[in-house]
Structure 1
Amino acid sequence: MLNIAVISENALVCALPPPAELDKQRKLWAFAGLLNQQEGICEVIVGMNNLTVFTALGADLMVFSERLKKYWSQVENQQYQGKHFQIPVQYGGEFGQDLMDVATFHKVLPQDIITRHTAPIYTVFMIGFQAGFPYLGGLPEHLHTPRREVPRTLVPAGSVGIGGSQTGIYPFSSPGGWKILGRTDLPLFDKSNYPPTLLKAGDTVQFVVESVQL
């Protein structure tokens, strides 16, 4: 059941009961697609198991809430399917400083970690942290790895890492605590494009080995 709550003078959050699951996210993405076609809606931001809708200032939010319930009923049986991307990755060595540590944690060889990481097709659950940073669902449990006890002050742009039960890619250089397995040269953010982000919620990703340094 969709729960709708007012969070500001022109915004409502639409949330589904936990936990966050792929089928629920696909319905939310379909919901967002429908909302983006409606008059009076300024912006829709999809999160994990929820989305936030912004309308014009001065709108009657109670009336607007009823509109949202109506739109939700139109997509309850729909599921959004985004684009598919293959992301080339240079694993290990200077590009994947934590590959050996991750292999040691799981008591396998580094090549086994690479094989496990490139096998699944991941789904972009949401974009956050940085513009274009994809939180990817679908990391196998045998790759779940704790974050670094001491975060790095600088993680290079394009770094591919694991943080707990998720994997993701840093579009920009920044501090970060995820375990870094490798790096991609594929830009995830390009301000000359519209939209500037390569990936969006609902897209699928598979990592492909470009090179390996062990």
Structure 2
Amino acid sequence: MVRLFPLGDAAIVLEFGDAISPATHRAIQAFSAYLAQHPFTGLREYVPAFTTLTVYYDPWLLSEDGRYQPYEKVEEILRQMLPKAAATAQAATYPAVEIPVCYGGVFGLDLALVAAHTGLSPAEVIARHSAPEYLVHMIGFAPGFPYLGGMDERLSTPRKAQPRPLVPAGAVGIAGPQTGIYSLPTPGGWQLIGRTPIRLFDPEWAQPSLLQAGQHLRFVPIEETEFHRLQQHEP
């Protein structure tokens, strides 16, 4: 059962579940795809998250000179879309992406801390982190930053009590049960275990974000010499 509720006076939230799961993710992706193919008058944008999809709209265009309440009209439109989106849902066919990562050393300053917290050796942390195929649940808090699902539960480590004022682009980190990649240089409190030389975001690209929600990726451990070689070949 999808729950709908207002967010301010120009947005509506569709809550597809109360926990992060592949099924909830697929439902959000299916509705996003349907909405992209069937936009309604006044639709501004929509933002998928772990368990929700937020739809932003223009209240004036939906009010028709004050004869309709915009929220109620959007809610009706979206409720009519929900069963249609579910009936026409198709799995996204993104190719899996390999992300090379140089773990530890100057690239992963918190690898030893994660190892100590989990009771694993640094080598075991690397092996467990690079073993799964991860699902990109959503892109946020910075442009191109992927929130990934599928990390080994043994690697779960709390965020830093004091965030770093600047984390470099490409840094791979762990925060609680999640792992992700910093797409831009930003402050951050995730435990850094490695870094990739691959650029994740560029506003000049036709598709600015390298990764998309619904995509799968694998981390591939590399040595420092390979990191610098790949970095030199990045556009």
TM-score, normalised via structure 1 length = 0.93
Could you tell me whether the CA contact under 8 Å between 1:23 and 1:79 is conserved in 2? no
* Separation in 2, partners of 1:31, 1:80: 11
**AA in 2 matched with 1:80:** A
1:5 deviation in Å? 1.5
Greater shift in the superposed pair: 88-97 or 12-21: 12-21
Larger strand share, 1 or 2: 1
Correspondence 1:160 to 2:162: no
Determine which of 55, 80, 98 is the counterpart of 2:91: 80
Correspondence 1:187 to 2:199: yes
Could you tell me whether the CA contact under 8 Å between 2:4 and 2:15 is conserved in 1? yes
**AA in 2 matched with 1:107:** G
State the SS of the aligned residue for 1:51: strand
Aligned to 2:18: 18
Aligned to 1:61: 71
Correspondence 1:35 to 2:35: yes
Determine which of 135, 143, 146 is the counterpart of 2:147: 135
1:79 deviation in Å? 5.3
Q: Which deviations, in whole Å up to 9, do the C-alpha atoms of 1:82-121 show, x marking residues without a partner?
A: 5221110011110011111111222222111110001011
Larger helix share, 1 or 2: 2
State the number of aligned residues.
213
**AA in 2 matched with 1:174:** T
Greater shift in the superposed pair: 73-82 or 11-20: 73-82
1:16 deviation in Å? 2.2
Could you tell me whether the CA contact under 8 Å between 1:14 and 1:51 is conserved in 2? yes
Aligned to 1:96: 108
Larger radius of gyration: 2
Q: Which deviations, in whole Å up to 9, do the C-alpha atoms of 1:33-55 show, x marking residues without a partner?
A: 11012232221110120001122
State the SS of the aligned residue for 1:105: helix
Could you tell me whether the CA contact under 8 Å between 2:30 and 2:90 is conserved in 1? yes
* Separation in 1, partners of 2:7, 2:76: 16
* Separation in 2, partners of 1:56, 1:168: 33
**AA in 2 matched with 1:3:** R
State the SS of the aligned residue for 1:70: helix
State the SS of the aligned residue for 2:137: strand
**AA in 1 matched with 2:78:** L
State the SS of the aligned residue for 1:17: coil
TM-score, normalised via structure 2 length = 0.85
Unaligned 5+ segments in structure 1 are: none
Q: Which has the higher contact order (CA 8 A, sep 6+)?
A: 1
**AA in 1 matched with 2:209:** T
Greater shift in the superposed pair: 79-88 or 183-192: 79-88
Greater shift in the superposed pair: 89-98 or 106-115: 106-115
Correspondence 1:169 to 2:181: yes
* Separation in 2, partners of 1:63, 1:174: 39
* Separation in 1, partners of 2:206, 2:25: 24
* Separation in 2, partners of 1:79, 1:149: 42
Identical columns (%): 39
Q: Which deviations, in whole Å up to 9, do the C-alpha atoms of 1:140-169 show, x marking residues without a partner?
A: 111111112222122111100100000000
Greater shift in the superposed pair: 196-205 or 88-97: 196-205
* Separation in 1, partners of 2:57, 2:38: 10
Greater shift in the superposed pair: 199-208 or 76-85: 76-85
Aligned to 2:157: 145
Q: Which deviations, in whole Å up to 9, do the C-alpha atoms of 1:52-87 show, x marking residues without a partner?
A: 112233213323212211211123353533522111
